[in-house]
Amino acid sequence: MSAIDDATAQQGDWWRRRLEELRADADRWPLWLPVAMGCGIAGYFLLREEPVGWLGAAVLGLLLAAAWALRRQELLRNLLLAGACAALGFAAVQTSAWLADAPKVEVRMPVTTVTGRILQVSPREAGFRVLIAPERIEGWRGPLPQRLRITVAARFGALPGGPGQRLAVRAVLLPLPPPAMPGAFDFPRHAYFDRLGGLGYATVAPEPAPGGPPGGGSDWLEQLREGMSGRIRTAIGGAAGAVAAALVTGERGAIPEAVNAAWRDTGLAHLLSISGLHISLVAGIVFLAVRSLLAAIPGLALRHPIKKWAVAVAVPAAFFYMLLSGAEVPTQRAFLMAAIVFLAILVDREAISLRLVAWAAAAILLFLPEALIGASFQMSFAAVLALVAAYEAGRERIRSLRAGAGPIGKAALYVALVCFTTVVATAATTPFALYHFNRIALFAIPANLVAVPLTSFWVMPWAVIAAAAMPFGLDAWPLAAMGWGVEIIIATAERIAGWPGAAWTVPAMPAAGLAACALGGLWLCLWRGGVRWAGVVPVALGLLSIGWNRPADILIDGGARAVAVRGPEGYRLIEGRGAEFAVDTWLRRTASDRQEWPPRDGAPQHCSYRICRLRAGGERIAVVRHRGGLTEACRTSDVVVALVPMRWECGRGVVSIDRRDLARSGAHAIYLGGGRPRVETVAEGRGRRPWTTVDLGVLDEEARDAAQ
The answer to whether 589 and 508 are in contact (CB under 8 A) is yes
Query: Alpha carbon of 469 to those of 228, 472, 477, 631: distances in Å?
Result: 12, 6, 10, 75
Q: Does residue 10 fall inside a structural domain?
A: no
- Check whether residue 262 and residue 181 sit in a common domain: no
Angle between helices 407-437 and 444-454 (to 10 degrees): 120
Specify whether the backbone of 183 is left (phi greater than 0), alpha (psi in -120 to 50) or beta: left
Give the model confidence (pLDDT) of 410-453 as tens digits: 778 877 887 788 788 888 888 998 898 888 888 888 888 888 88
- pLDDT for residue 146: 93
Burial of 9 (0-12, 13-18, 19+ CB in 10 A): exposed
Is the pLDDT confidence value at 289 over 80? yes
- Check whether residue 48 and residue 81 sit in a common domain: yes
Average pLDDT over residues 141-160: 89
Residue 558: domain span: 554-676
CA end-to-end span of the chain: 69
Please tell me the pTM assigned to this model: 0.85
Distance, CA of 373 to CA of 310 (rounded, Å): 37
Give the model confidence (pLDDT) of 73-89 as tens digits: 878 888 899 999 999 99
- Check whether residue 455 and residue 491 sit in a common domain: yes
Give the model confidence (pLDDT) of 445-494 as tens digits: 888 888 888 888 899 889 889 888 888 888 889 999 999 999 999 999 99
Count of all residues that appear for the chain in the document: 708
Domain boundary pick from 153, 182, 215:
215
- Check whether residue 29 and residue 130 sit in a common domain: no
Q: Does residue 423 fall inside a structural domain?
A: yes
- pLDDT for residue 147: 93
Q: Does residue 442 fall inside a structural domain?
A: yes
Q: Position 115: which residue type?
A: T
Domain boundary pick from 54, 72, 100:
100
Question: Which one, of 569, 533, 574, 582, lies nearest residue 682 by Cα?
Answer: 582
Question: Which one, of 479, 416, 422, 420, lies nearest residue 451 by Cα?
Answer: 422
Phi, psi (degrees; rounded to nearest 5) at 489? -65, -45
Domain boundary pick from 100, 123, 148:
100
- Check whether residue 579 and residue 473 sit in a common domain: no
Specify the range with the lowest mean pLDDT, choosing from 33-47, 235-249, 597-611, 628-642.
Answer: 597-611
- pLDDT for residue 375: 85
Distance, CA of 205 to CA of 209 (rounded, Å): 13
Distance, CA of 78 to CA of 498 (rounded, Å): 53
Distance, CA of 481 to CA of 462 (rounded, Å): 7
- pLDDT for residue 520: 94
- pLDDT for residue 299: 77
Distance, CA of 581 to CA of 587 (rounded, Å): 10
Q: Does residue 451 fall inside a structural domain?
A: yes
pLDDT over 70 for what percent of the chain? 90
Max Cα-Cα span within the chain: 97
Distance, CA of 247 to CA of 250 (rounded, Å): 6
Question: Which one, of 461, 473, 488, 481, lies nearest residue 231 by Cα?
Answer: 473
- Check whether residue 498 and residue 536 sit in a common domain: no
Q: Does residue 694 fall inside a structural domain?
A: no
Q: Does residue 88 fall inside a structural domain?
A: yes
Give the model confidence (pLDDT) of 291-331 as tens digits: 888 888 887 777 777 888 888 888 888 888 888 887 776 77
- pLDDT for residue 5: 53
Question: Which one, of 571, 566, 597, 598, lies nearest residue 584 by Cα?
Answer: 571
- Check whether residue 432 and residue 499 sit in a common domain: yes
Average per-residue pLDDT in the chain?
A: 84
Q: Position 390: which residue type?
A: A
Buried b (16+ CB within 10 A) or exposed e, 278-297: bbbbbbbbbbebbbeebeee
- pLDDT for residue 347: 62
Is the pLDDT confidence value at 708 over 60? no
- pLDDT for residue 696: 53
Q: Does residue 518 fall inside a structural domain?
A: yes
3-state secondary structure 294-330: HHCCHHHHHHCCHHHHHHHHHHHHHHHHHHHCCCCHH
- pLDDT for residue 72: 86
DSSP 433: H
- Check whether residue 201 and residue 344 sit in a common domain: no
Query: Alpha carbon of 479 to those of 140, 271, 456, 493, 523: distances in Å?
Result: 47, 18, 15, 21, 44
- Check whether residue 261 and residue 406 sit in a common domain: yes
Number of separate domains in the chain: 5
Give the model confidence (pLDDT) of 14-38 as tens digits: 556 666 766 666 778 888 999 999 9
Distance, CA of 521 to CA of 463 (rounded, Å): 35
- pLDDT for residue 604: 47
- pLDDT for residue 156: 87
The answer to whether 4 and 499 are in contact (CB under 8 A) is no
- Check whether residue 425 and residue 331 sit in a common domain: yes
For residue 319, count other CB atoms closer than 10 A to its CB. Answer: 16
Element (H, E) at 623: strand 619-624
Average pLDDT over residues 143-166: 88
- Check whether residue 195 and residue 49 sit in a common domain: no
Average pLDDT over residues 601-621: 74
- pLDDT for residue 483: 93
Residues near 123 by beta carbon (within 8 Å), at least 6 away in sequence: 129, 229, 233, 251, 253, 254
Distance, CA of 457 to CA of 154 (rounded, Å): 37
- pLDDT for residue 276: 66
Q: Select, from the ranges 24-28, 202-206, 651-655, the one with the highest average predicted confidence (pLDDT).
A: 202-206
Specify the range with the lowest mean pLDDT, choosing from 94-98, 207-211, 371-375, 493-497.
Answer: 207-211
Q: Position 639: which residue type?
A: V
> CATH code at 154?
2.40.50
Q: Does residue 633 fall inside a structural domain?
A: yes
Give the model confidence (pLDDT) of 522-555 as tens digits: 999 988 877 888 899 999 999 999 988 888 889 9
- Check whether residue 353 and residue 491 sit in a common domain: yes
pLDDT range class, residue 698, cuts 50, 70, 90: very low
pLDDT range class, residue 192, cuts 50, 70, 90: very high
The answer to whether 136 and 115 are in contact (CB under 8 A) is yes
pLDDT range class, residue 676, cuts 50, 70, 90: confident
E strands in 385-500: 439-441
